[in-house]
Structure 1
């Protein structure tokens, strides 16, 4: 009930009715898994460099409907961030302006539920752009895959000490790493985690993972 009230309050703040579709009820069976690469880890001051997303339908990753966009930044990308995601200033030569890129992303996700790893951060980064522009935050239902993993791993052993690092989750679930770290590859790997966890009742607890 509280979630419904928050969504209704959020809806009243929408400045542009062209984006009312974000608040429409969704009765489909697709989930959008997404990831962002950024200039840093502070949603209040850092900027999005790229967004990668993929749709999941049941137990299938719709790789034909992969989304990727690069965004122009207002200042140089810090060297330490380039070391993480490998996106250099020259890679942004044909990047879109943030409004253009975010608009494409919003139309890609529509009212579908969202899933991701460290999703709170990615959503906060998107909200940094859309709140001043549209007056709202992303209203879509959200699932944190590390939370799913924790619940499956912690089944029957409350207070368990569980390693929630991305690479650990991949290894424990037998999901192959995809090589180069970027938003699209991270979204696809997270989608594989999401599907596997949705088809698992509980995970083994004997290992130190």
Structure 2
């Protein structure tokens, strides 16, 4: 199953008060394994950058002023997203900003049914624990030493590793899961793929004659002689 893990950076916390999305980073996964395909873009928000937000992600208004507007990149972004489930950390926040940008240019919003929230998964798996991306990276031993500031693509790449751990660990990438298995974020189902070599129809495999596993008369006599030569055996007492 194809999934897209994504993260956004913004000018603030609420698109309803005029905050805008300024960066998006996406990572493609198939069968919970990263394919190497990513999408990354900065956007000119056509507004100022509050200093509080700049301290988080380091993106200044001057830097973003040279970047394309969201409308200029939207088709490429939507092509990458396709119809895959979209995985994000505190996903309601990222969906809110992404759909706000789509609404501002008259495009259809992305259905909330596609949303997979890793915070909700982590809360169910680790109740009472810290659920930030940093905390989950620490819990699962994921190296985040290069995360000096927030960055959409970097955070999406870290989240992809966290998502694997939250949904079963790295063994899920061993080719034992079929296309329809483990579709839900809480699924622990593991099935064999129909075309795996151990699950092919018998007509597709070379036939081998069964190997003999019964001792021959000569082997039985040799064993009997060996047993008779053991001094003070417990079975003779």
- Normalised by the size of structure 2, how large is the TM-score? 0.65
Which of 97, 100, 110 pairs up with 1:128? 100
2:88–2:118 CA contact under 8 A, matched in 1: yes
CA shift, 1:187, in A, is 0.4
Matching of residues 1-209 of structure 1 within 5 Å: 29-44=1-16, 45-63=18-36, 65-134=37-106, 136-139=108-111, 141-154=114-127, 161-177=128-144, 178-180=146-148, 181-200=150-169
CA offsets per residue over residues 156-185 of structure 1, 9 Å max, x none? xxxxx2322221111112121142420000
Q: Which has the higher contact order (CA 8 A, sep 6+)?
A: 1
CA distance in 1, matches of 2:108, 2:74: 14
CA shift, 1:88, in A, is 1.8
Give the match's secondary structure for 2:15. coil
CA distance in 2, matches of 1:101, 1:120: 22
CA distance in 2, matches of 1:107, 1:56: 15
CA shift, 1:136, in A, is 3.1
Where structure 1 has 5 or more consecutive residues not aligned to the other structure, the ranges are 1-28, 155-160, 202-209
Give the match's secondary structure for 1:61. strand
1:54–1:66 CA contact under 8 A, matched in 2: yes
CA distance in 1, matches of 2:102, 2:22: 15
1:71–1:98 CA contact under 8 A, matched in 2: yes
Give the match's secondary structure for 1:186. helix
> Cα distance 1:79–1:132, how it changes in 2: closer, same or farther (>3 A)?
closer
2:46–2:65 CA contact under 8 A, matched in 1: no
CA distance in 1, matches of 2:76, 2:134: 30
Match of 2:194 in 1: none
CA offsets per residue over residues 119-173 of structure 1, 9 Å max, x none? 111100011121243453212611111111122224xxxxxx2322221111112
CA shift, 1:93, in A, is 4.6
- Normalised by the size of structure 1, how large is the TM-score? 0.73
Where structure 2 has 5 or more consecutive residues not aligned to the other structure, the ranges are 170-185, 187-237
CA radius of gyration, larger in: 2
1:70–1:101 CA contact under 8 A, matched in 2: no
